Amino acid sequence: MIALSLAEIAEILHGELRPAGSDTPETLVDGTVDTDSREMAPGSIFVAKPGETTDGHRFVGAAVEAGAVLAIVERPVDVAVSQIVVADAVGALADLARAVVARVREAGGLRIVGITGSNGKTTTKNFLARILADEGETVAPIRSYNNEVGAPLTMLRVTGSTRFLVSEFGADGPGSIARLAGLVEPDVAVVLMVGLAHAGGFGGIEATARAKAELVQAARPGGVAVLNIDDPRVWAMRDIAAERGMSVVAFGQGSAAEVRAEDVVVSASGTSCTIVHGTERTPLRLHVLGAHHVSNALAAIAAAQALGVPVPAAVERLETVQLAERWRMQPLGNDRVRIINDAYNASPDSMAAALRTLAQITGPGERTVAVLGAMSELGDAAGEEHDRIGLLAVRLNIRRIVVVGPEARRLYVSAVGEGSWDSEAVHLPDQDAAFEYLKNELRDGDRVLVKSSNSVGLRHLGDRLGELFS
């Protein structure tokens, strides 16, 4: 974080400053900011956030022992550290992020990119951060820091020398993206797709589209909207961009896209295509598995190009990316039994894309095995969408369909109804049962996909299988 005095921070947060020890209102702090006492380092600022199962105020002492020099609290605590007492710790985090980013931007040189979409945010964020890192100091979220806590924490890593801030915006309901993106007003707004991920929390896909459009509405007037022309709901957001005086860059695989991909080929070692931009044709070889990641790469390339990075340079840097993110199409195992751990999250779109990738990368004499758990937060569409995935798995000729957990049973029933009999499809109650089954079932030549929503936790099963066959 940039250096601020205790008095300045208290003013920004509309809080009451309680200096401790030798601190005065003029004492400067410039350490990292976090809500996790385990992440503290010398000079850090600890935000005591109340939680659903615990309370950050209980950990102020631990944070100080680890090096924190300031605690932002909702009530004073009996710990020898300077404190700023605020009405709402999470709100204070947002206020501090807004002020810090505004000061750095005002000093000149900081460009901000916001990314949202039902799928692909984290991969696109990582792709873009890799491209921009060679241009100058780049701050991007750790893992999926895209909510009301994670997004401000990322913003607060900005310093006076930061050239690019890449923010990822998730949504837990209408208005959340508007609040988060409104903290920084991105210069470039990237919208990837509108799908059924979390649709249950929004009331349907049209409401989801309105929520994603909040990023374009919150972007800086006169900025750039990078929109997926292949998704009609995303492409319709160009009207909002026009109202805000923004230019629009279309990415996709259609001929009308300004940044598009042709000749996409998926293999077990990665994904290749040709990036077309104007008269330029640049071959791209991604190490990341799956045709669906081509769209994420296009979005990153288009956003980078809007920031002045030539397409060939962006492509060259993307080719150095070995892994999109842990638990996202992560190759594990060995040449005999390959595990693809893609169980960080799951929606109908990403589940279908992962199954198609599994089918595409499995060669003659090899066997496809899909280990599937439930897709969460689909609301009324949950039953129908699990049915659809069961049908798709059979129609893709997946040879073994291993369904884990009671919430995913309908997927299993659908697969059996479509014709996956004679042990081709099995339903197991939990991860341990699935591990024991797979330990004996898997054989040389198997290509195994592990896929579920994060809440189901099959990513840990994927890790166990990876270790077993390493």
Confidence check: pLDDT of 162 > 60:
yes
> Which band of pLDDT confidence, cut at 50, 70 and 90, is reported for residue 201?
low
Element of type H or E holding 388: helix 382-395
Q: What are phi and psi of 68, to 5 degrees?
A: -65, 140
In a domain, 323, yes or no: no
> What long-range pairs does 326-333 form, CB within 8 A, spacing at least 24?
327/459, 327/462, 328/122, 328/123, 329/288, 329/289, 329/290, 329/293, 329/354, 329/357, 330/462, 331/289, 332/462, 332/463, 332/465, 332/466, 332/467, 332/469, 332/470, 333/448, 333/465, 333/466, 333/469, 333/470
In a domain, 313, yes or no: yes
> Which band of pLDDT confidence, cut at 50, 70 and 90, is reported for residue 203?
low
Question: Are residues 295 and 365 located together in one domain of the fold?
Answer: no
What pLDDT digit, counting tens, does each position of 443-454 carry?
Answer: 999 999 999 999
User: DSSP state, 354?
Assistant: H
CA distances from 360 to 162, 371, 388, 393, 403 (A): 41, 17, 19, 13, 21
Both tokens of residue 220? 């800086």
Question: Are residues 287 and 336 located together in one domain of the fold?
Answer: no
What pLDDT digit, counting tens, does each position of 327-339 carry?
Answer: 889 999 998 999 9
Question: Are residues 236 and 147 located together in one domain of the fold?
Answer: yes
- CB of 229 closer than 8 Å to CB of 190: no
In a domain, 106, yes or no: yes
293, burial (CB in 10 Å: exposed 0-12, middle 13-18, buried 19+)? buried
Q: Give CA angle at 149 (147, 152), nearest 5°.
A: 95
Element of type H or E holding 241: helix 238-243
Neighbours of 251 (CB within 10 A): 30
- CB of 230 closer than 8 Å to CB of 203: no
End-of-domain residue from the set 48, 67, 87: 87
Residues 6 or more apart whose CB falls under 8 angstroms from that of 284 comprise 261, 272, 273, 274, 275, 297, 315, 318, 319
Domain count, the chain: 3
Average pLDDT, the chain: 94
DSSP string, 272-298: EEEEEETTEEEEEEESS--THHHHHHH
Question: Are residues 71 and 97 located together in one domain of the fold?
Answer: no
Q: Going edge to edge, which strands form the sheet with 330-333?
A: 330-333, 337-341, 446-451, 367-372, 400-404, 425-428
Both tokens of residue 46? 């600890």
Question: Are residues 77 and 106 located together in one domain of the fold?
Answer: no
Question: Are residues 104 and 23 located together in one domain of the fold?
Answer: no
In a domain, 41, yes or no: yes
pLDDT at 421: 66
Confidence check: pLDDT of 198 > 80:
no
> Which band of pLDDT confidence, cut at 50, 70 and 90, is reported for residue 266?
very high
Mean pLDDT of 96-111: 96
In which residue are the tokens 């349907």 written?
Answer: 204
Question: Are residues 336 and 240 located together in one domain of the fold?
Answer: no
In a domain, 249, yes or no: yes
End-of-domain residue from the set 46, 63, 87: 87
pLDDT at 197: 59
Q: What range does the domain containing 411 cover?
A: 330-468
- Cα–Cα nearest to 262, from 240, 277, 247: 277
Q: What CATH number corresponds to the domain at position 13?
A: 3.40.1390.10
Confidence check: pLDDT of 462 > 60:
yes
Mean pLDDT of 67-95: 97
pLDDT at 412: 95
Share of the chain above pLDDT 70, in %: 98
Going by DSSP bridges, is the β-strand pair 138-139/224-228 parallel, antiparallel, or unpaired?
A: unpaired
End-of-domain residue from the set 256, 284, 318: 318
What is the rounded distance in angstroms from the CA atom of residue 60 to the CA atom of residue 72?
Answer: 9
pLDDT at 145: 78
Q: What are phi and psi of 232, to 5 degrees?
A: -55, -35
324, burial (CB in 10 Å: exposed 0-12, middle 13-18, buried 19+)? buried
Both tokens of residue 279? 């008269």
Question: Are residues 153 and 255 located together in one domain of the fold?
Answer: yes
pLDDT at 326: 85
What pLDDT digit, counting tens, does each position of 285-320 carry?
Answer: 999 999 999 999 999 999 999 999 999 999 999 999
What is the rounded distance in angstroms from the CA atom of residue 328 to the CA atom of residue 425?
Answer: 24
In a domain, 260, yes or no: yes
What is the rounded distance in angstroms from the CA atom of residue 248 to the CA atom of residue 223?
Answer: 9
In a domain, 105, yes or no: yes
Sign of the CA dihedral with 82 first, then 85, 86, and 88 last? positive
Q: What CATH number corresponds to the domain at position 336?
A: 3.90.190.20
CA distances from 157 to 110, 138, 139, 416 (A): 13, 10, 7, 50
Mean pLDDT of 67-84: 98
> Which band of pLDDT confidence, cut at 50, 70 and 90, is reported for residue 323?
confident
What is the rounded distance in angstroms from the CA atom of residue 234 to the CA atom of residue 298?
Answer: 15
Q: What CATH number corresponds to the domain at position 229?
A: 3.40.1190.10
Question: Are residues 140 and 232 located together in one domain of the fold?
Answer: yes
Question: Are residues 148 and 282 located together in one domain of the fold?
Answer: yes
Question: Are residues 204 and 313 located together in one domain of the fold?
Answer: yes
Element of type H or E holding 61: helix 60-65
In a domain, 324, yes or no: no
What is the rounded distance in angstroms from the CA atom of residue 379 to the CA atom of residue 292?
Answer: 24
Lowest-pLDDT range of 173-187, 309-323, 419-433:
419-433
Question: Are residues 355 and 269 located together in one domain of the fold?
Answer: no
Q: What are phi and psi of 90, to 5 degrees?
A: -65, -40
> Which band of pLDDT confidence, cut at 50, 70 and 90, is reported for residue 202?
low
CA distances from 171 to 22, 141, 313 (A): 42, 15, 32
- Cα–Cα nearest to 161, from 113, 111, 110: 110
